Amino acid sequence: MNKQSTDRLHILYLPKWYPHKYDPMPGLFIERHGKSTLPFNDVSVLYVHADDKQKKPVYEFVFSKDEPLNTIRIYYKRAATGFRPLDTLINSCRFVRSHLKGIREIRKRYGKIDIIHVHVLTRHGVIALWEKIRHGIPFVVTEHWTRYLPSTNTFNGAFRKWTTRIVARRASAIMPVTANLRDAMIDCGLKNKNYIVIPNVVDINMFSPDPDKRAGEKARIIHVSCFDDQQKNISGITRVIKRLSEKRQDFSVDMVGEGIHYDELLAYGVEMGVKDTYATYFGLRENEALAELMKAADFMIMFSRYENLPVVILESYACGVPVISTDVGGISEHMNEDLGILLDSEDEDAFYNILDNMLDNYRNYSVEKIREYAVSHFSNEVIGKQLSEVYRAVAKS
């Protein structure tokens, strides 16, 4: 390709998850990756979504108007013949056709594509590999998914494994968000000579310390998640809150988010007697509304069974707020004594004791130190530069 180091490259993002008309939340971290590299590159996004509600036409194109990234969303009608093998075949064909149509439209509207950036394997990587074989466009991969981790063990199926390994081998670079995920991918046989760990990006302007924050009579604790109890163990958090409330009453917990177990966990909070006494359930909060809650918190708690590197932890750091978390996934890669405390997953006794101690000592943490760590590791400038260095190296090869 031999692009000059000063040339702007046109990068096409192919994400598995991305904000869409039914849900503005999926893949926000992918969108932020794209925004971070805009000072150096032109970024287009092609997102394809299987739509259960769509009747006609089979393919609906939606072009971005007010988004910073050149975005095309294609909604295709999900087949529902009642015969699963036929539905799978039809939907696979529509998935591929949507991408081929979309890539042609991207070229027509925004020009020649220099590099394809796949976010999450496998199917999107197959599309990128096809474009590499047919048009000579190199591709890179960022992986966010926990399926490769031993704790989840959901990277299954002989054909899927075979296909994913081929795609991984042909990528110009693979960029997992943590070293822990990198090691898990390698253990799954996804070989590549160019693994580069690049974490997610944080909007450090939106998520920033509150200069007018004042100590209250009660410590404010915050938990933010997708309310998937199997992963986030919110029922464990609820039990520990209940137990701690029997010893002391100088705290409150803001429970933020929604998800598949939200109603069950709300009912469990009522059953345990903590809802509206020690725990307030806010439901989904995003962007500025979420940032305001984080800024008001004295510390964050996470009690997950498995993770990669939750963006909410990084956002908490950006607000200068320390974190208590289980030592799972890649969290330990960005945790030290200035940032918070780690504990073993499932250990409710340890969680109780650490929470009890934190309530007496959270004021000893330096807001400035925590904030500086976030700025130097997860800001747009830092991540955008790292991504662009990868793009430049690939373009020169």
The answer on 385 and 364 residing in a single domain is no
Q: What is the mean pLDDT of the segment spanning 348-372? A: 98
pLDDT at 397: 87
pLDDT at 366: 98
Specify the pTM. 0.92
Where residue 214 falls among pLDDT bands split at 50, 70, 90? confident
Please state, for a pLDDT cut of 90, what percent of the chain lies above it: 90
pLDDT at 141: 99
Q: How far apart are CA 352 and CA 195, in angstroms?
A: 38
The tens digit of pLDDT for each residue in 144-180 reads 989 999 888 899 999 999 999 999 999 999 999 999 9
Q: For the beta carbon of residue 329, count every other beta carbon within 10 angstroms.
A: 24
Structure confidence at residue 162 (pLDDT): 98
115-138: average pLDDT:
98
Structure token digits, residue 192: 């590549």
Question: What pLDDT shows up at residue 379?
Answer: 98
Within a domain: residue 316? yes
Say if residue 348's pLDDT is above 60. Answer: yes
- Span 182-197, average pLDDT: 97
Segment 202-222 shows an average pLDDT of: 94
- Asked if the structure places residue 115 within a domain, the reply is yes
110 and 223 housed in the same domain: no
209 domain residue, yes or no: no
Residues 151 and 61 in one domain: yes
Is the same domain home to 235 and 160? no
Position 214 in a domain: no
Compute the distance between CA of residue 331 and CA of residue 349 in angstroms, rounded to an integer.
21
Question: pLDDT band at residue 4, thresholds of 50, 70 and 90?
Answer: low
What are the C-alpha distances in Å from 182 to residues 137, 153, 157, 190, 329? Answer: 24, 15, 20, 9, 11
For the cut 80, the answer to whether the pLDDT of residue 346 exceeds it is yes
Q: At residue 66, does pLDDT exceed 90?
A: no
Domain assignment present for 206: no
Domain containing residue 62: CATH number: 3.40.50.2000
Residues 227-239 have a mean pLDDT of: 97
As a whole number of angstroms, the distance between CA 57 and CA 76 comes to 8
Q: How many domains does the chain have?
A: 2
Range from 59-68, 128-137, 271-280, 369-378 carrying the lowest mean pLDDT = 59-68
What pLDDT is recorded for position 1?
Answer: 53
Instruction: Label residue 128 exposed, middle or buried (CB < 10 Å: 0-12, 13-18, 19+).
Output: buried
- Summarised one tens digit per residue, pLDDT across range 82-105 is 999 999 999 999 999 999 999 999
Q: Is residue 6 predicted with pLDDT exceeding 70?
A: no
Could you report the per-residue pLDDT of 33-60, keeping only the tens digit for each?
A: 999 999 999 999 999 999 999 888 899 9
**228 shares a domain with 161:** no
Domain match, 150 and 251 both: no
Number of helices and strands (H, E) in the chain? Answer: 13, 13
Domain membership of residue 2 (yes or no) is: no
Asked if the model's pLDDT at residue 3 lies above 70, the reply is no
Domain residue limits at 32: 9-201+379-396
Residue 174 to residue 390: CA distance in whole angstroms: 10
3-state class (DSSP) for residue 273: coil
pLDDT grade, residue 24 (50/70/90)? confident
pLDDT digits (tens, 9 = 90+) for 298-317: 999 999 999 999 999 999 99
Residues 289, 173, single domain; the answer is: no
